[in-house]
Amino acid sequence: MNPLVTPAWLAERLSGSNIVVLDATLPPVGVTPTVDTSAPYLERHIPGAVFFDIDALSDHSTPLPHMLPSPEAFSQAMSSLGVSDQMTIVVYEQEGVFSAPRAWWMLCTFGARDVYILDGGMHAWTTTGLATESGPVSRESATFRATFNPDAVKDFAQIQRMIAEHAQIPAQILDARSSGRFTGAAPEPRPGLSSGHMPGAINTPFTELAENGRLKSAGKLREYFAAKGVNLELPITTTCGSGVTAAVIALGLEVAGAKSISLYDGSWAEYAQRRQAAIEKTG
């Protein structure tokens, strides 16, 4: 299933009782002071959209950023937002292709059956001439029953096994960070972390999957992954700095037709902290 929908598609369904729209804009990492993404949401959003705060909805029992919460915590949070796992859910962000895929991945990983991303986000919506509204949005509570899909997520131990078995089985770990951080030539935005990459990883900077604020077409994505030596028929795991832009790669793979996709939730924020983790630098 292609998870991307157009503004026209959403506009036709927006008044339906079984659809909910989520603004999942997340502040960029390493920018000081932190960008307040809730303020632009309150100023202007798609009618009826509620704010999906990725930071608030992540697991706060760990120092690692943006980790998945427990199914119980996610169920409670979604229910309070008025989101049911049986609804049609459309996610967007205010600009570019950065954080909405993480919200899409979280919802899919917890069993939501009908989840889409608005192609082009708020920019596409407004340039099409469609109406917006301002102020907070409250919805009646709903029932979200999270069902965790363990095949969608990799942990550190699994990543270590993939790296160790790389000689026999292609690991296909796709790293969404910039080429400078991947090679080790540029520093990590989070203090105390070494840059570099996992042995055998393939650098696929998430910015290369988009053009003009939208994800590239399925054909262009297939060409891109083929040029990187990625086999869409074999299992693929995505990673990044904290698990957010790894979801951009996961989305691109989904659109391109990859057969088996998982995401390393701890990503580089966890991996680079581990003493037993091998780090390679080529820059």
* pLDDT tens track for 150-174: 999 999 999 999 999 876 677 899 9
pLDDT band, residue 36 (cuts 50/70/90): confident
Q: Is the pLDDT of residue 16 over 90?
A: yes
Share of the chain above pLDDT 70, in %: 97
Residue 98, domain member (yes or no): yes
Please name the amino acid found at residue 258. Answer: A
For 103-121, the pLDDT digits (tens) are: 999 999 999 999 999 999 9
- Tokens standing for 85? 């796992």
Helix (H) or strand (E) holding 100: helix 100-109
Which residue segment(s) compose the domain that 59 sits in? 4-148
Residue 12 CB partners (closer than 8 Å, separation 6+): none
Q: Helices 246-256 and 100-109 sit at what angle, rounded to 10 degrees?
A: 70
User: Which of 51, 21, 54 has the alpha carbon at shortest distance from 39?
Assistant: 51
Look at 190 and 129; give whichever has higher pLDDT: 129
Mean pLDDT of 185-198: 94
For 223-269, the pLDDT digits (tens) are: 999 999 999 999 999 999 999 999 999 999 999 999 999 999 999 99
Residue 282, domain member (yes or no): no
Give the pLDDT score at 235.
96
* 31, 141: one domain: yes
Active site residues: 240
Query: Which of 130, 148, 166 is the last residue before a domain boundary?
Result: 148
Structure pTM? 0.96
Number of domains, the chain: 2
Which residues does residue 238 pair with via DSSP β-bridges, in sequence order? 174, 263
Residue 276, domain member (yes or no): no
Q: Is the pLDDT of residue 57 over 70?
A: yes
- Alpha-carbon dihedral 125, 129, 133, 138, rounded to 10 degrees: -40
Largest pairwise CA distance in the chain: 55
